[in-house]
Copies of this chain bind each other. A is one copy, B any other.
Amino acid sequence: MQLGMIGLGRMGANIVRRIVREGHTCVGYELQADAIDRLRDELGDSFTGTTDLAEFVARLTPPRAVWVMIPAGATGAVVEQVAALLEPGDIVIDGGNSRYHEDIARSAALAPKGIHYVDIGTSGGVYGLERGFCLMIGGEREPVEHLDPLLKSIAPGIGAAERTPGRTGAPSTAEQGYLHCGPAGAGHFVKMVHNGIEYGAMSAYAEGLNILHRANAGAARAGEFSAELTPLEHPEYYRYDLDIPEVAEVWRRGSVVASWLLDLTAAELYADPNLDSFDGRVSDSGEGRWTLDAAVDTGVPAPVLAAALFGRFSSRDGALYADKMLSAMRKAFGGHDELPEA
């Protein structure tokens, strides 16, 4: 089967590699000609590319399958441009991190032209080439079924995990790592919540490891924490000089918190035990915020997901004005001065 890929950045190129590996062919569109050349050198005749959008569309056989894999901010305009060149029955796929609201709007805009719109939330990051990508898919049933051979090639396959106890018979697509979740936007909706969960789980590990990091706060020499006004009531309980990289490692086998995130964390800690290469200004890329919006809209308590998101805001000084306000109040009612820098 043939796929057209718009955007040959890391994610796009890796998806191309996976489908070509499984015997499919691909036409790429990309502004950087050298990215095309490199992929052509690597993949041979199964891949061709062009920097001309009309040429890109012309090379695809109807019904065309065009996957747009570019930064979320640019996706809308590119979908419009390519859709203007497509024909009824063709399929446009947004594989990036668009908000699902936009999928609903784009799908509705393309429907009158007979062009199908499919949104695919794609998880796997830099490891996707090797592990396969987890695909969460929204759109009409027919085009999604049409794409099945491609989706199967991109997804990890059933071998990537042990089969869930109780499941028998032919594996569902979910067991192979891809799932048609529902109508337009459903793929990005599920991916959005997936990332919200990711934020929460990441913070669970980070908070716990931070507690281990401070487990030596009661040591006589623990000057690092001396600026705390409240002295430790029981310093004898905080005299552990823990080897955090080894702790992360030991949890990888047999424990309840074993996970892929922990695998990555253990690797990072092994390479940089004190995390000296980081400043602690943590970014967020939209999905965590939108997940919280969805929780608020539908009346779902999401304190863990919210705390994880707010922690990122705070890491980038988002709380600074509020903190100054607290210090001002303390000064006002109690005459308290602020603590000096530790």
Is A156 part of the contact surface with B, judged by Cβ < 8 Å? Answer: yes
Q: Chain A 328-342 against B: per-residue CB contact (8 Å), 1 yes, 0 no?
A: 111111111011111
Chain B residues closer than 8 Å to A260, beta-carbon distance: 256-259, 333
A197:B257 contact, CB within 8 angstroms = yes
A283:B338 contact, CB within 8 angstroms = yes
Q: What residue in chain B is nearest A247 (Cβ atoms)?
A: B190
Q: What residue in chain B is nearest A282 (Cβ atoms)?
A: B326
Q: Chain A 91-107 against B: per-residue CB contact (8 Å), 1 yes, 0 no?
A: 00000000111001000
A258:B161 contact, CB within 8 angstroms = yes
Nearest CB of B to A37, in Å: 22
Q: Chain A 173-192 against B: per-residue CB contact (8 Å), 1 yes, 0 no?
A: 11111110111011001100
Can you list 28 A-B contacts with CB-CB less than 8 angstroms, sorted by A residue number?
A: A104-B237, A125-B256, A125-B335, A127-B333, A132-B254, A164-B267, A164-B270, A167-B270, A173-B250, A174-B247, A177-B254, A190-B212, A196-B211, A201-B257, A204-B204, A207-B305, A210-B302, A210-B319, A214-B300, A227-B316, A265-B332, A280-B319, A280-B320, A282-B330, A292-B292, A296-B309, A299-B316, A304-B308
| A interface bracket (residues with beta carbon within 8 Å of B) | 35 or more
Partner of A338, one of B202, B254, B279, B308: B279
Q: Chain A 12-46 against B: per-residue CB contact (8 Å), 1 yes, 0 no?
A: 00000000000000000000000000000000000
Is A75 part of the contact surface with B, judged by Cβ < 8 Å? Answer: no
Is A148 part of the contact surface with B, judged by Cβ < 8 Å? Answer: no
Copies of this chain assembled into the complex: 4
Chain B residues closer than 8 Å to A104, beta-carbon distance: 236-237
**Interface majority SS on A: helix, strand, loop or mixed?**
helix
Q: What residue in chain B is nearest A258 (Cβ atoms)?
A: B260
Chain B residues closer than 8 Å to A59, beta-carbon distance: none
Chain B residues closer than 8 Å to A199, beta-carbon distance: 204
B230:A198 contact, CB within 8 angstroms = no
A327:B278 contact, CB within 8 angstroms = yes
Partner of A200, one of B203, B225, B310: B203
Given contacts A204-B197, A237-B297, A303-B306, contact A134 B255 (CB under 8 A): yes
Given contacts A177-B253, A265-B328, contact A166 B259 (CB under 8 A): no
Chain B residues closer than 8 Å to A265, beta-carbon distance: 325, 328-329, 332
Q: What residue in chain B is nearest A124 (Cβ atoms)?
A: B254
Is A232 part of the contact surface with B, judged by Cβ < 8 Å? Answer: yes
B259:A210 contact, CB within 8 angstroms = no
Is A80 part of the contact surface with B, judged by Cβ < 8 Å? Answer: no
Nearest CB of B to A307, in Å: 4
Chain B residues closer than 8 Å to A255, beta-carbon distance: 123-124, 134, 194
